[in-house]
Amino acid sequence: MDGIIVSDIVKVYKAKGREIRALDGVSFRAEKGEITSIVGHNGAGKTTMLKILSTLVIPTSGTATVNGYDVVKDEKRVRENIGLVTVSDRLFYYRLTGMENLVFFGSLQGLSISEAKRRAKEVLDIVGLTEWRDTPYMKYSTGMQRRLALARAILTDPPVILLDEPTLGLDPVSARIFRENLQNLGKTVLMTSHYLKEVEDLSKNVIVFKRGKVVAKGDPEQLKSSIGKVYEGKVYDLPHGMEKFVVRMEKEYAVLRLPEREMGKVELYDLKEVTPTMDDVYVFFVEEGIDVAREGRKRGGARWRE
């Protein structure tokens, strides 16, 4: 079966005598040739999910397949089928050029030197770095570094690409170029991102994680219509639990954007209907009260170890 199929995955980390349930029965599919995004708060389990799919972390229970290969039983095949893009400043050798780095990693992945050179040229062209191929990596801008990471991930032409927050820290133009590169690949892509506009523009499907569970999934339009109409209005007395819907605080009132389903809980003035956005979807499904959000930030999330 092509694409990615995740069935009832649980991952429990044990740290300092404590158990952390990072994933708690996660199921979803990422279809062949489509871009699928995972969104969710810090610590929701997004990186853990990508690590399981790239065989770096073993699930506690459940199954996941990548292009039909089981991430636990067919680890080697899974690795051959994926390209991984993570945000790390230790992905490449600083003094080697972009080209030299790619040839080096290509030969590590089993390509002959001449084959690695041929592929390196091709992928540098795909990500628009041909004119920088002989420049040392240390002179690359952050955007160029990220595109080189994408080039490295597609060196052996794997059908599936996994990316963890690929445009984090990029300026708007670099982020746009990166997105265009990604769209033009035509591969099965599963990525995490905190940029909801980017997720909406790129993804055929979006999976919403909250505390290790999938709380919503669908294409962006489906997700937006699932929360019903959205209204913006003023509230003079903010009830507890409604803080997450505040978009602006004025002197005497707060301005809220509220999905229809929440309308009964608060009295709104100067009401007007607004077009739902992915931000509204995110707030509705993911955001919690202020106390819980602060607790979540304290827990933090695990980064990639390269």
Ligand X SMILES: Nc1ncnc2c1ncn2[C@@H]1O[C@H](COP(=O)(O)OP(=O)(O)OP(=O)(O)O)[C@@H](O)[C@H]1O
Smallest distance from ligand X to CB 249, Å: 26
- Which stretch in 39-47, 74-82, 139-147, 219-227 sits in contact with ligand X by CB under 6 A? 39-47
**Of the candidates 228, 224, 211, the residue with the CA atom closest to the CA atom of residue 262:** 228
42 binds ligand X (CB under 6 A): yes
State which of residues 5, 6, 28, 46 lies at the interface with ligand X (CB under 6 A): 46
Size of the site for ligand X (CB under 6 A): 16
Q: How far is CA 107 from CA 110, 144, 152, 241, 246, in A?
A: 5, 22, 12, 56, 53
Q: Which amino acid is at 208?
A: V
**CB-based contact 210:44 (threshold 8 Å):** yes
Smallest distance from ligand X to CB 127, Å: 24
State which of residues 115, 238, 302, 304 lies at the interface with ligand X (CB under 6 A): 302
**CB-based contact 129:121 (threshold 8 Å):** no
Nearer to ligand X, 255 or 302 (CB): 302
Nearer to ligand X, 126 or 168 (CB): 168
State which of residues 10, 12, 20, 274 lies at the interface with ligand X (CB under 6 A): 20
State which of residues 4, 5, 9, 22 lies at the interface with ligand X (CB under 6 A): 22
98 binds ligand X (CB under 6 A): no
**CB-based contact 34:219 (threshold 8 Å):** no
166 binds ligand X (CB under 6 A): no
Q: Quote the CA–CA distance of 69 and 81 in Å, as a whole number.
A: 9
**CB-based contact 6:38 (threshold 8 Å):** no
**CB-based contact 230:275 (threshold 8 Å):** yes
Nearer to ligand X, 73 or 297 (CB): 297
13 binds ligand X (CB under 6 A): yes
Nearer to ligand X, 248 or 294 (CB): 294
If you search the block for the tokens 């809980």, which residue do you land on?
265
State which of residues 43, 59, 98, 158 lies at the interface with ligand X (CB under 6 A): 43
**CB-based contact 274:231 (threshold 8 Å):** yes
305 binds ligand X (CB under 6 A): no
**CB-based contact 203:37 (threshold 8 Å):** yes
Interacting residues toward ligand X by CB under 6 A: 13, 15, 20, 22, 40, 42-48, 299-302
